[in-house]
């Protein structure tokens, strides 16, 4: 009886895992094969920025879209810029725009000139998030 229960749970686990893999592979993307620009405005985001960028890169690989990530750092006092710079060296899809002022008048203009005007883009200001532990789960829902 115990062996039958174990086999039932194992079969359920295999079916659930296969369902998730198929769902991940076949989920609709934002214009598959086309460029999409994601602008992330951050400040003091060392707690979440590397995990978020790696999640977005893996997700865009499975969705087969050309995701370009612009990270706008507005005067971080922690190691956010160093983390993004290190990732930028390894991944050409990541671009860092840094400014020392939290609100820079020319910031939007530089972001707009860096983005491909023919492709859609989304802007997320992550500076006001109080609970940084919710940022990655939020993006999993948005891009999941």
CATH of the domain at 38: 3.90.550.10
Examine residue 107 and state whether it is found in any structural domain, yes or no: yes
DSSP the chain: -HHHHHHHHHHHHHHHHHHHHHHHHHS--SSTTSEEEEEEEESS-TTTHHHHHHHHHHHHHHHT-EEEEEEEEES-SSSHHHHHHHHHHH-TTEEEEEESSSS-TTHHHHHHHHS-TTS-EEEEE-TT-S-GGGHHHHHHHHH-
Examine residue 138 and state whether it is found in any structural domain, yes or no: yes
Q: What is the dihedral of CA 138, 141, 143, 144, to 10 degrees?
A: 140
Q: Which of 110, 108, 137, 135 is nearest to 123 (CA)?
A: 108
pLDDT (0 to 100) of residue 24: 61
User: How much of the chain, in percent, has pLDDT values that exceed 90?
Assistant: 8
Examine residue 67 and state whether it is found in any structural domain, yes or no: yes
If you search the block for the tokens 């990732």, which residue do you land on? 87
Examine residue 117 and state whether it is found in any structural domain, yes or no: yes
Work out the average pLDDT over 110-135. Answer: 70
Examine residue 6 and state whether it is found in any structural domain, yes or no: no
Question: Do you know the residue count of the chain?
Answer: 144
Cα dihedral sign for 64, 24, 116, 132? negative
Total domain count, the chain: 1
30: confidence class by pLDDT, cuts 50, 70, 90: very low
Work out the average pLDDT over 111-128. Answer: 69
Query: Does pLDDT of 124 surpass 80?
Result: no
> By residue range, what is the domain housing residue 37?
31-143
Examine residue 24 and state whether it is found in any structural domain, yes or no: no
* Distance of alpha carbon 90 from alpha carbon 118, whole angstroms: 26
Highest mean pLDDT among 47-51, 108-112, 118-122: 47-51
pLDDT in tens, 61-75: 877 778 888 888 888
């Amino acid at each position: 009886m115990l062996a039958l229960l174990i086999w039932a749970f194992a079969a359920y686990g295999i079916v659930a895992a296969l369902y998730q893999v198929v769902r991940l592979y076949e989920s609709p993307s934002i214009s598959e094969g086309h460029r999409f620009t994601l602008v992330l405005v951050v400040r003091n985001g060392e707690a979440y920025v590397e995990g978020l960028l790696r999640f977005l890169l893996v997700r865009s690989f499975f969705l087969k879209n050309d995701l370009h990530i612009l990270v706008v750092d507005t005067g971080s006092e922690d190691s956010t810029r160093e983390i993004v710079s290190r990732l930028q060296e390894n991944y050409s899809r990541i671009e860092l725009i840094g400014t020392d002022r939290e609100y820079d008048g020319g910031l939007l203009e530089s972001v707009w000139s860096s983005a491909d005007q023919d492709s859609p883009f989304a802007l997320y200001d992550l500076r006001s998030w109080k609970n940084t532990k919710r940022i990655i789960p939020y993006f999993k829902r948005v891009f999941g």
